[in-house]
Structure 1
């Protein structure tokens, strides 16, 4: 399925156990996605870096380890490769440190050591990872780039956990579970936009208040999710 190009992934799941911020489904999310990547999208196990704070985990999702894993993945990547990051965890907003923006807030991801990461890819990073919003009702003109991001909710919302009674006794994050169910029910190639819209429809049917968003160029909105070739569904 790789056709000479590598498929690389970093999967980060952080449940924050025994803290006031504890989540339940993040680790199950990334384990389920790892299976999807290998079985459906042709990823090699050796090209998937898994970081979770499950008991006995080999690599904990600390701020330093996440940055190291991403840096190593990007150093391996070459033109034509597929690079995938899943980050199932808490996010937050902090006052911007950039001059001239006194009221701006920057988004940050929250590793298991609560060492906030405000910038995964610096100013010198490849343009392919500088991503912009592609929303159905967006009127803002944005520069076209190559990065693609599916987010579980809008910036002013929070992403929910699934009730384990709804998922065979296992806890999952609602959006990640919706994406995996969409892929299970549609074995043919789906565009990034189709995955997002179908996941949003699934969440609405389950009475979840969050609204998933797709951030990318118009061109990539219609590109196959994870560049699955036509007719390669299992």
Structure 2
């Protein structure tokens, strides 16, 4: 058995979507994997954007790292992914749909978004008797593995006709000493950052996907290629499900699909509320802790600390009470 991990932290320094705690989250998780879970340094890949000597967390590099993680795995291996950064919900631009009505995405430093469908495809390639645990400390992270069973949470509840999702409060003071900026990238901010990245000035809601395809080509989401090729034909081929997805993926999400995850700034420190809660619960519970126990413990901790986000657990029934990571 080999334990392998990919850790992704993106602070978006110098942009209007700048965060502070994402790279710190990755550093803490890196230490935890080695000291608590027995990972070897050479089997941990880090992608961060605050050190140019490190591999940058672009869409292409993240896809490659995840592909190599799964492609090098054998039956019985332990695979782990931690993502701290922005999340975004892309509204439908065609008549396609999924179980939430949106594409939940993580946002690489170059805006080359990675969709929930892509994460699903990556998880489906995990070898038999090998699980892949994903911790996503980002907004809208509840739907990040498309079509996985929801065990704790209510992200798969569809909005009723005429019902609107909740207004997202981008930042707030939890108390006098704790300032919280949400890890949700509003569409107008994403469009501005995408304009800056691509040099295109005609981007608007309704052509985001085609812009991403035009800008990144074969390095963009395969789903964008399918949408592009079938545009105007009255049929979307990219999301046809030919067989039931495998259940090798385990997702611990920082919040529900319509919620935000907090990027906390206090007394010179910065971290993700969800990531910090995980480390707190792990420190309190020596020895084995199951996925269910961890998520419920984190939920209780965040509620006690007055954070509005509600973490979720998404996995097969057999993995609910499996030990976290290994």
Give the aligned partner of residue 134 of structure 1: 151
Distance 1:155 1:189 in 2: 29
Give distance in 1, aligned partners of 2:246 and 2:56: 35
State the 1:135 CA deviation: 2.1
Deviations 1:183-218 (A, max 9, x none): 111112100000001111111111100000011122
Runs of 5+ consecutive residues of structure 1 not aligned to the other structure: 228-234
Aligned residues: 219
Q: 1:205 to 1:120 in 2, by over 3 A?
A: same
> Which structure 2 residues correspond to residues 97-116 of structure 1 after superposition, within 5 A?
100-101=96-97, 104-116=101-113
Contact 1:189 1:224 in 2 (8 A): yes
- 2:195 match: none
Per-residue CA shift, 1:45-74, capped at 9, x if unaligned? 000000000133420000000001111111
> Which residue among 158, 176, 190 is the counterpart of 2:260?
158
1:197 aligns with 2:300: no
SS at match of 1:16: coil
Gaps of at least 5 residues in structure 2 are: 133-144, 158-243
2:199 is aligned to none
Query: Which of the residues 163, 180, 183 maps onto 2:279?
Result: 180
Alignment partner of 2:65 out of 65, 69, 92: 69
- The CA deviation at 1:173 is 0.4
Decide which of 40, 45, 50 is 2:41's aligned counterpart: 45
Cα offsets for 1:13-52 (capped at 9, x unmatched): 0011111111111000010000000011010100000000
Distance 1:50 1:138, change over 3 A: closer
After TM superposition, the score normalised by the length of structure 2 is 0.62
More moved, 55-64 vs 75-84: 55-64
Contact 1:25 1:171 in 2 (8 A): yes
Residues 143-152 or 28-37, more deviating: 143-152
Aligned: 1:24 with 2:13: no
Q: Structure 1 residues 105 and 139, CA, compared in 2 at 3 Å: closer, same or farther?
A: closer
Q: Residue 200 of structure 1 aligns to a residue in which SS?
A: helix
CA contact (8 A) 2:8 2:84 kept: yes
- 8 Å CA contact 1:28–1:170 kept in 2: the answer is no
Q: Deviations over 1:109-167 (max 9, x none)?
A: 10000111122353894266663321267999x987221110000111100022332xx
CA shift, 1:96, in A, is 4.1
Q: Deviations over 1:60-113 (max 9, x none)?
A: 000000001111111111010000011101111113467553993111110000
| Number of the residue aligned with 2:320 | 221
Bigger Rg over Cα: 2
**Closer, same or farther: CA 123–98 of 1 in aligned 2, 3 Å:** farther
Partner of 1:230: none
